[in-house]
Amino acid sequence: MGSSSSRLDRVPGAKDLMEETGFSETNILCLYDRFEVLDREERGYLRLEDFEAIQQLAVNPIGDRIIGAFVFPGRETLDFPSFVRVLAHFRPTDTTWSRSGSQPEPANSRTRKLRFAFSLYDQDGDGKISRAELTEMLQAMLGMQVTDEQLQSIVGRAIQEADLDRDGAISFDEFKKSVEKVDIDHKMSTRFLR
């Protein structure tokens, strides 16, 4: 394997990334390896097609949205630092980090994690989950068994639950409140990114 410091050299901007995201050397190396595997043509960046080539993602009901969270529409490519930054959302929350710090909130904070989840719904980026957006999401996840009408009433019900200011859409704050009992750290962290 070689010494880790020499391996780290081949990752561009590794130190800064570690600083920024809190990943360890092993994490960065591991992710870089993965990045290279995904980047089959060795262009140094990933394109939409590279993500779409991941087989399991194709069967994931919200796979498209996840890809969308990596490769922003308009920007066709994704370099390694951006790749790492997105994945940093899934690092378990540090217990040491406190709000009083002057530095920007790290990507693995609760709010940032939720913001990420929120953006999966909020496809048009207007800061609200509209009825149509929620319907789309549910449609993706519920499959065939549910009729349109049932879907509509589920959506209506869900919005009604969360929509505190009665504007017919779920804002980020409302979203945050609706899942406040959920242990986000459990649900939006993966072990190996620790």
Site residues for another protein per CB under 8 A: 30-31, 33-34, 37-38, 51, 54, 56-57, 60-63, 66, 70, 87, 90, 92, 95, 117, 120-121, 137-138, 141-143, 145-146, 149-150, 152-154, 156-162, 164, 166, 170, 177-179, 181-183, 185-194
The minimum distance between CB 42 and another protein, in angstroms, equals 17
Residue with token string 């750290």 = 185
CA-CA distance, 85 to 133, in Å (whole number)? 26
Sorted by sequence, the CB contacts under 8 Å of residue 163 that are 6+ apart come out as: 169, 170, 174
Query: How many helical (H) and strand (E) elements, i.e. helices and strands, does the chain have?
Result: 12, 4
Between 6 and 145, CB nearer to another protein: 145
Q: What is the DSSP letter of 129?
A: E
CA-CA distance, 133 to 91, in Å (whole number)? 27
CA-CA distance, 39 to 176, in Å (whole number)? 35
The minimum distance between CB 176 and another protein, in angstroms, equals 11
For residues 52 and 58, is the Cβ–Cβ distance under 8 A? yes
Between 18 and 138, CB nearer to another protein: 138
Between 8 and 151, CB nearer to another protein: 151
The minimum distance between CB 84 and another protein, in angstroms, equals 10
Between 11 and 193, CB nearer to another protein: 193
Between 74 and 143, CB nearer to another protein: 143
For residues 140 and 61, is the Cβ–Cβ distance under 8 A? yes
The minimum distance between CB 13 and another protein, in angstroms, equals 18
CA-CA distance, 103 to 115, in Å (whole number)? 18
The minimum distance between CB 102 and another protein, in angstroms, equals 27
The minimum distance between CB 15 and another protein, in angstroms, equals 21
Q: What is the DSSP letter of 88?
A: G
Between 90 and 97, CB nearer to another protein: 90
